[in-house]
Chain A
Amino acid sequence: MSHATEGELHAHLDGALSAIDPAAAARLAEHLDRCADCRARLDEERAIRACAADLLAAALPSVEEPPFEAVARPAGRPLPSATTHRFMWAASLVVALGAGWMGHALLGGHGDIASSELDGIAQTGSEEKEDRAVGRVSAFGEKAAAPAPEAAAAPEAGAPRDGITRNEIARTNGDWRAVSLEEAERWIATRVLRVPDLEITAVEAAAVEGRRVIRMRQALPGGGVLELVQEAESGREAAKAARPPSTLSVRIGGAWVRVSAPVASDSLRALVSRIR
């Protein structure tokens, strides 16, 4: 055989040549036995390979993986207590299901849309001032959240103000109680919507300004949290809800779903399409 190519030498050093081309590996081994030049080149390439590996290892050190909590929970396992779970609010993903949201007005729709129709959902890159209010109240459940400005939750002119808003939820600090999934479904007299593959870490119920509301948290891969808020009644006129940046509004099974998350819109759509 002619002298070994650099590619063959590196494939040999990587232990890959015999896997991708056993005949070439045999020829190279035989050639290296006879050719001092190629053995010297092999040593040079070995040094370059080691140096490159060292540089990459120095720049890209190994990391510990955070726990993956998004595996489906086996049926019948008890839910963990809401009070014992530490939530990563900063990375949280919020899904709110309520009587009405901005999306209702934007779509002007009545009736359901299937997940395959999600392309028609309203997507907002909101720049409205309510965004800041959402930022403040996103850690709901914590004490002493600043009272949200009334303007942020104000209804549109002429619209009855009966849709649940994040600001209203924030004002119910301390009223939430941990419940089982079954109790939650009895509380709102309907099925609790969720993403099936995600572990449920907490379910809580509360009365928000006279309306029955539940909220649920599900673990995302890598430690993020999906929050889901659902109200007993649905189908009423939308109240103007605060909109965080990058929001999807969609109607599923009679409930308006509003999703906002620190992930790309494609991922949001994927998550929304999985809510059942």
Chain B
Amino acid sequence: MSTDWGAVYTNTYQDLHRFLAGKVWDPDRAHDLVQETFVRALGHDPSDPRAWVFTVAANLARDEARSAVRHRRHLQLLRTEARDEEATEPEAPARMERERMREEIGRALDRLSLRDREVLLLWNSGNSYEEIARLTGLSAGAIGTTLARARKRLVREYEGSEKDVARNRR
């Protein structure tokens, strides 16, 4: 029986989008990559469609990585300019603070090793240890250790950057 890609799409869109958004750090681009993943899926009939789309998505995101870094730098520049214009709106401070936090979290994620980041994003996208093991080639027994390290590093890096921000504000 051929794969019901409509059902796979419904069941995996949010997880796939979250995974890709974590990798390319751009929600719109993540959506484009989800769409591209499913365009590629048409006509395929893999035994494990969820693993298949995550593998394709991971490959697309890897191809994207270099340009995404450039793009992100550009976006940050634009945001800085936009902030100057928006500073007079009543809700601007709260929104700017959320955006600043989001950027700090992104920077903290960037400081993880590629492997740790991948495993953390796959877990955060609803994949089980067994699925993460299949997707990354790690043993299922190693996923817990990897996640422990990745979570700790993420929290430490983020808290470190927040302390820097607090110090600079004083």
Distance between Cα atoms of A70 and B141 in the complex (Å): 38
Contact A6 B148 (CB under 8 A): yes
Contact A222 B34 (CB under 8 A): yes
User: A9 — which chain B residues lie within 8 A by C-beta?
Assistant: 144, 148
Distance between Cα atoms of A65 and B142 in the complex (Å): 32
**A271 within 8 Å of B (CB atoms):** yes
Whole-angstrom distance between the Cβ of A130 and the nearest chain B Cβ: 25
Q: Which residue from chain A places its CB closest to the CB of B34 in the assembled complex?
A: A222
Q: Which residue from chain A places its CB closest to the CB of B158 in the assembled complex?
A: A55
How many chain B residues sit at the interface, stated as a range, is 35 or more
User: B31 — which chain A residues lie within 8 A by C-beta?
Assistant: 63, 66, 222
User: A45 — which chain B residues lie within 8 A by C-beta?
Assistant: 148
Distance between Cα atoms of A262 and B128 in the complex (Å): 33
If over half of A's interface residues share one DSSP class (helix, strand or loop), that class is named, otherwise mixed; here it is helix
Interface residues of B in 108-164 (CB under 8 A from A): 108-109, 120, 123-124, 128-130, 140-152, 154-155, 158
Contact B129 A52 (CB under 8 A): no
Contact A58 B39 (CB under 8 A): no
**How many residues on A have C-beta within 8 angstroms of the other chain's C-beta atoms?**
49
Contact A65 B13 (CB under 8 A): yes
**A78 within 8 Å of B (CB atoms):** no
Whole-angstrom distance between the Cβ of A53 and the nearest chain B Cβ: 8
**B27 within 8 Å of A (CB atoms):** yes
User: A220 — which chain B residues lie within 8 A by C-beta?
Assistant: 35, 39
Stretch at the interface among A15-23, A116-124, A200-208, A240-248: A15-23
Contact of B151 among A10, A58, A195 (CB under 8 A): A10
Contact of A264 among B21, B63, B129 (CB under 8 A): B63
Check A68/B6 contact, CB under 8 A, given A6-B145, A7-B142.
yes
Contact B5 A71 (CB under 8 A): yes
User: B140 — which chain A residues lie within 8 A by C-beta?
Assistant: 16, 20-21
**B14 within 8 Å of A (CB atoms):** yes
Contact A14 B123 (CB under 8 A): yes
**B1 within 8 Å of A (CB atoms):** no
**Given A19-B128, A221-B5, 7 more pairs with CB closer than 8 A:** A7-B148, A8-B144, A52-B151, A56-B120, A59-B105, A70-B42, A71-B5
B residues near A (Cβ < 8 Å) are 4-6, 9-10, 13-14, 17-18, 21-22, 27, 31-32, 34-36, 38-43, 60, 63, 98, 101-102, 105-106, 108-109, 120, 123-124, 128-130, 140-152, 154-155, 158
The 7 residue pairs across chains A and B that have the minimum distance between CB atoms: A7-B145, A11-B144, A65-B13, A222-B35, A221-B38, A7-B144, A52-B151
